[in-house]
Structure 1
Amino acid sequence: MTVAIREVAITGYRSVRAIRFPLRQLNVFVGANGVGKTNLYRGLQLVRAAAAGTLARELAAEGGMESALWAGVRDPRKPARIKLGVEFGTAGTSWDEADDAPRSSLAQAYEIEVGLPVPTVAAFPLEPQIKAETLTSLDGRHPRILLERRGPMTKALDAQGRKQSHADGLMASETALGSLDDPIHFPDVAIARRLMLDWRFYHDFRTDAAAPLRRPCLAVTTPTLSSDGADLAAVFATLVHIREDTTELDAAIDDAFPGAQLVCPVPGRHASFGIIFPDYPKRVFEMAELSDGTLRYLALMGALLSYRLPGFVALNEPETSLHPDLLGPLARLIARAARHAQIWLVTHSEKLATELARHGGVTPRTIIRRDGSTWIEGLRLAGDFADEED
């Protein structure tokens, strides 16, 4: 079952006053510094954090609610809130008119609202507090509330279709979606949580001398690259020695570094890799020796060619540290990955955006500032793009 994010909504987060926009299989966002590209990316990452139960901690780590709330002028009569929402589902979800039964598997929407604590709540003064959460099924002709949280009280639809109330000591900083981990009694909620946890966000591949990318990792079969790339050697070893099919990997290496060869020894306790370049055919350049750009590109290959691609992959400024000659191969790599996974990409590079338009058949979207708020050029207030009209 292939499930894609159909729509994203963000309100009151940093430079984003309020925005709602659709997603396609391959989504490319380009713009200048300071327009808020990363805030859109980060807003979606925080939705995943809600599923993981780490939303309050992640907001606190980026400066707390004072930093995360909408940076513009707010109405003092209204409480300060951050609202995040996604709609996701299988393509072409429809239902049987006779018995209201869904013909295809899944369509759901999740929304969460975060604010500051009220004086009567036991919490730190600037700690993010979950004010409301809703998970809704959109499979049938009429929406069904699968999970609803208002303040401390949570209600969820169980496997028999009955609403069950849950207080169970849920703290104001804990998400209901992250806490209600019971796939037997609440299967619909568990499905949504599992799908969100499968999303991957790649934005900080360290390449300094002490970076995990430069060191061997434990030899454990690894189908998907971790967010920091620390298990890249295990990802390559899994492709070479477990799947035993490196056709796409070899082609991607040759496209980016013509004539080069990836060397991935049979792992013992640890997995490692190196590169043989055509100028030095008898010399293997180990992980610690590779240039920052080469190592970063290999990490992107691990993210996009892994044994099991996540359903959704987000890349934030993947062109960082790369030579301009690698942008064409990178665009081709991303376009191939988009055949199997939904891709979200944020970039400064007009060249990369142009290459993706060419190889991925996608219209890059330009992030702009409009009336002091982050916006997407061509996006209408209805939440769609004028150039995508039927």
Structure 2
Amino acid sequence: MSGWLPFAPDASHAGADPRLAGARLTIDLSALAENYRLLVRQAAPAKVAGVVKADAYGLGIEPVARALWRAGCRTFFVALPEEGIALRAVLRDAEIFVLNGLFGPEAAPAYAAHRLMPVLGSQSDLSCWEAFGWDGDRPRPCAIHVDTGMNRLGLTADEAFAFAEENALTGALSPRLLMSHMACADDPRHPLNRQQLESFQAVKRAFGQTDSSLSNSAATFLGPAFAFDMVRPGIALYGGAPVNGRENPMLPVVTAEARIVQVRHARPGETVSYGAHAKLDRDTVIAIASAGYADGYHRAGSQAGVPLRGVVKQSACGVTHGRRVPVLGRITMDLTMFDVTDLGTAVAPGDWIELFGTNIAIDDAAAAAGTISYELLTSLGRRYHRTYVGGE
């Protein structure tokens, strides 16, 4: 199949030797592909691109991109030109957009050499790409980013109107896509959603038949008015809940587990971990797991001696032997303690405990640390052994 190469995991993706690893990730490429197909059905007839920036949200750009290609994805978004170059080496025929703009005139040749489409969001971006010259006998292709309320990247509406009028006369650039980004789509009732939609519709009229894209994961579920020609889901592909307060329709893609390296017994009145904030009120069996905040298992999930204590509903928990068990004391750099007292003598060194995945939703694990699934995924350290399953 054109543009597809067989996938063989390498050391950069596999991580530690599984016999020596303190933690492991199981990444289900079949679930990833099914999530893509669900989004295709949701967004139809709009095209669905795959956002694979930040090493595919921490899961590995190479295996993730190949799995999405096999599922039918042909357009991808990355944040940085280096990410685009890495993706081009994996997928020869993919359409690749670079979200963070054009990194100056010295970077322009690399975009052209690797057939990367810059998303131009400033006057300097426009001037630089225009000055770089034509692609053969054609003006340089690009995407145009207009800000509709995010105040992050993008031309203002007035700048976008002025560019559209001038470019209609000069033909200096060939916009392939007009895009903007939603700020509050995970809250369907937020008034900014409608404001951004109306602002984008107005700018779109100035760009004629140019394809357009407004929706991220959350906005894909706001209805057909937000779909335009292309949607750009990210977190939903990887199993995160796209919309707050609704049942998550996406399948879990990644399961994170830590190895239990010791089981110890402690008496009432003793304390656990740094700061001695966790004081025991019963005879307690403690499982010490070989993962901590150096592995992206956030210290804030401890709720012990941190400002989040009492703000989020409960501390983080794990699952072992089919039971949920709470984090006990502060999460440390390399180790986390769990209260496994209610499991009796079932837990032993060498067992594994799930941090999030098929039993603990990634959004729940993130909420326990006062953060979001995006941050939890992209914080995953390199000490995990990664196993890719499915996707064939």
Q: TM-score normalised to the size of structure 2?
A: 0.27
> Over alpha carbons, which structure has the higher Rg?
2
Please report the TM-score for the alignment, with normalisation by the length of structure 1. 0.27
